[in-house]
Amino acid sequence: MTETIQSGAPYVAASGTNGELNDQILRRFLQTLVVGITGMDPTLVRPRWQPNPANEPDFTDDWAAIGTINRERDCFAAVLHSTDGSGNGWDTVYRNQILDVLSSFYGPNCEQNSELFAMGLCLAQNREAMELNGFGLVSTEETLVVPALLKERWLMGMDIHFRVRRQQIYTYPVPNLKSAQGSLVTDQQGYTVPLLVKGP
């Protein structure tokens, strides 16, 4: 039995975005955020998940891991159509997104470093780099104590969730509607109204 897939109108790929940070760029940005606020050694602040994980630092070292663990989007997006003087058209899709970021601090000074980070996020000057890259701080959540048993020794750890909001703006090359013709049928005894629509 052969099945036919109905595709309808052709798909439209995005022609541009607002330069939101994703993937490796986002991971580097989060790393610099922790380093800048806490003053920790940059080589000891790492992405949470790496293709080739480095060896864990010594028990006497202070280190941290950071990464995005959830993305929450608005249920609905705003879609606005625009046109230029030449008759070209495009749709712009706007939607807000909240990133849930988990920063974990380990080592003998993990409590101190976690508090330096949590308190440092309260300072407007420390949030400036976030705002320049399209992020706004939503909240800094409670700190969880998460010690880990490694090589029969307890490694102290502290987890901090913080949430940031950003706006996604994607553009799509959607042509203008030139014209359309049809009929509008009402509920009252099948009364039909001719319909003619002309675009720009």
Q: Which residues pair with 164 in a beta bridge?
A: 99, 137
Q: What is the pLDDT of residue 179?
A: 72
Q: Collect all residues with Cβ–Cβ distance below 8 Å to 1 and sequence separation of at least 6.
A: none
pLDDT per position as a tens digit, 100-151: 999 999 999 999 999 999 999 999 999 999 999 999 999 999 999 998 888 7
What is the SS3 assignment for 64?
strand
Nearest Cα to 22, choosing from 12, 14, 30?
Answer: 30
pLDDT per position as a tens digit, 5-64: 777 778 899 999 999 999 999 999 999 999 999 999 999 999 998 888 888 888 899 999
Tokens of 195: 């319909």
Run of H or E residues at 65 = strand 63-73
pLDDT per position as a tens digit, 54-93: 888 888 999 999 999 999 999 999 999 998 878 889 999 9
Q: What is the pLDDT of residue 148?
A: 84
| Pairwise pLDDT comparison (189 vs 15), residue with the higher score | 15
